[in-house]
Chains A and B, each alone.
Chain A
């Protein structure tokens, strides 16, 4: 438990991705089986552990402690698990020896073998035998509240890192391919990563497979390429998903491999084929049903839910627009060409329910200029650009440069005024690099700047120096790590903000939320009074919805 607890303590406070990878890879390398496998499961979200209710934990701590002193402590710390981990020692001064603490594997096995009536005394006993930081990790695990900013993908990247460098280095996509066929504590996986065993064999294709990604088109990319070698299709503004179905197992995964089957019974229940399909999850009607595809904000009503109500299913019907076929039944066809896979995909979709599945249509074009014109004025507001795919490209996981491109509609732009700034992390910890910006809006107190978003990238290092200096020289107020800066009609800093989309939002005071905002340019040439107005943003939302 100690090693896992130490890892958590570091991960929580390490903002940089590379820093996290180093910590994770070192943990996987230095920790024995099965502990590291359970640690991996806890991080990647696959650990099955008997849960404990906070009320029971509170009871346990009050068996030994004055309730008033506990309340003072809880008020100060603010987190129940952390408070209990800290006060559990009472007035004991001696530390618990690292080598005599229960190991993570023991804790998991023991907790999962307990009967209902045994939980209370087992938890008390474990709390007695763990040290402060291990108690914290244990309590976070059993209360299911492990929030430490590590995605499943990052944990897998760390596995790849621990296997190398050198000949034995395993690519993260290979790990991803195996992942959903394995269970904690992943001993065969570690044995393979350490070069001690053959690659584990999948029992079924109905698992998540790493997706193939596209690079954005950059200046000069297309000139060298022959348009005849490529096909284009619309890039829809939904979320990328993977459907797999084999031997009665039907699953829907997000592009990062999260299992979202439970939230989409309308789609999963309609699957009548076997194989693995890559596509876009959207709401509204399929092309074949002649109903329009609806916007991303409608789709959002269905996202991030564990379950879904009948009303939701009626109001926001979901469907999948199919892009690609990875497995045809249980045969892996990823090495076939895009056109060949698409031909077979067409057959599968033709036989699938017409209201839940359709085939992404190809966009004919002869020259890149023609495609450019098509891209700028797409026929449907839910299209955000075009995808360009080499006709003979195999399906390769990851983001390779060359076979696939995405060519988005140009981003939106507004001029906004810097309102607040916050210091960054890691390399940027001495810079004010996270900016909240606002636009003019009519308020009961007259014309005022209202915050509409936050951006922390898009500028160069030299521009960051300028921004940081402005913040330091023009701070008018401080709220913890945040500084408010001067922003008046005739004095302030105007930022040109670019973003990919805009939706209505009830969460933001301004009523709008931007997608992927970033700072496109510093507008030294403009004064705050020249900045945009909120009505410009609402008009963008309305234009999208129209």
Chain B
């Protein structure tokens, strides 16, 4: 069987015609397999959803009780038959609940990695390499310029800045699911034990992470009555980046804008966004991690999706690994 007969791109997303399911579809479908809870991968309105327990919980938190018609939880490693196609979920190390999905039929195995990373992250299960014929990799940071530094060094920059500018409120932009909780956990691991204030948009997900056994320390809402700017002097506040350009940010004293993202590797990106303190912390693979993952898994073919597909395809060509871009649309990279 050709791999394309088992799984191929369609306008709604990757589709398996034999099992009649989509993976991370961008529009409502009959049956969806979801890798993780970021909104560009997990959308509301599907009839049936198969995902990890945590991803299902996260979808419910974000979209409400009726986020789908019928849900089914998959445990890591458990083999599930979907209309004659064998599927299994494996940790992707991206955010809490994130999974790669292995799809197998007649001895042909395709792994959809979703978004993944190889770096250490205490807030989710680490990536597990799964042998396969076709490995579908993301390429969000698929350019040789991306080398994510040790996240603890980045948090040290933040702690140094708090000492240098003890009057200023340090606002850290971090996406609501995954990045925010990871950043808070990292700050704790670097020895910072004062309260961390969070934007309202983070509250439900932080509570969920805590409920899943991830200790975030003393977190408090950053939503106090107006006109008390002193309350946040020298404080650490975490919120979605969009909030910092909003009136919401005015309650803080001389806010110093930090942003935790892999994009912060490039100075101009930081500058355009008005970021004073870029923190290069990513939930995606950097260039060396993408390459070493492909080498480690050793698939006979690589399909590349969302991100800088052409550079990774070029590298595979140089290494004589058959590779092609999938040109899927609709993945907005919410997670980094």
Which residues does A use to contact B, with CB under 8 Å? 9-10, 12-15, 19, 22-23, 26, 65-66, 68-70, 72-73, 76-79, 82-83, 86-87, 89-93, 95, 132, 423, 425-427, 429-430, 480-481
Contacts and interface: CB of A to CB of B under 8 A. Distances in A.
Contacts of A430: 244-250, 255
Contacts of B246: 430
Interface in B140-198: 143-147, 149-150, 153, 164-165
14 contacts: A12-B271, A13-B276, A14-B276, A19-B256, A22-B164, A69-B144, A69-B315, A70-B144, A72-B308, A90-B144, A91-B287, A91-B292, A93-B147, A427-B254
A77 B263 CA distance: 11
What DSSP secondary structure best describes chain B's contact surface? helix
Contacts of A95: 149-150, 153
A72 B144 CA distance: 9
Contact of A77 (B257, B268, B272): B268
Contacts of A423: 245, 274
B165 to A, nearest CB: 7
Given A68-B314, A91-B287, A95-B150, A76 B145 contact: yes
Given A72-B308, A425-B274, A427-B254, A86 B265 contact: yes
Nearest to A92: B288
In this complex, the member of B244, B247, B271, B292 whose beta carbon has the largest number of chain A beta carbons within 10 angstroms is: B247
A14 B258 CA distance: 11
Contacts of B97: none
Interface of B: 143-147, 149-150, 153, 164-165, 244-250, 254-257, 265-268, 270-272, 274-278, 287-289, 291-292, 308, 310-311, 314-315, 318
B278 A13 contact: yes
B147 A86 contact: yes
Nearest to B118: A93
Contacts of B315: 66, 69
B272 A429 contact: no
Given A92-B288, A430-B247, 19 more contacts: A9-B267, A12-B271, A66-B315, A70-B144, A72-B311, A73-B145, A86-B265, A86-B266, A89-B147, A91-B292, A93-B288, A95-B150, A423-B274, A426-B254, A427-B255, A429-B257, A430-B245, A430-B248, A430-B255
Given A23-B164, A77-B268, A423-B274, A91 B314 contact: no
In this complex, the member of A76, A92, A425 whose beta carbon has the largest number of chain B beta carbons within 10 angstroms is: A76
A429 B245 contact: yes
A430 B245 CA distance: 5
A73 B143 contact: yes
A66 B275 CA distance: 32
Closest 10 CB pairs of A and B: A86-B145, A430-B249, A87-B144, A91-B288, A72-B311, A93-B288, A73-B145, A13-B276, A73-B144, A430-B250
B145 A77 contact: yes
Contacts of A22: 164-165
Given A73-B145, A76-B143, A89-B147, A429 B266 contact: no
B275 A13 contact: yes
B249 A480 contact: no
B318 A66 contact: yes
Given A76-B145, A95-B149, A429-B274, A82 B308 contact: no
A314 B165 CA distance: 53
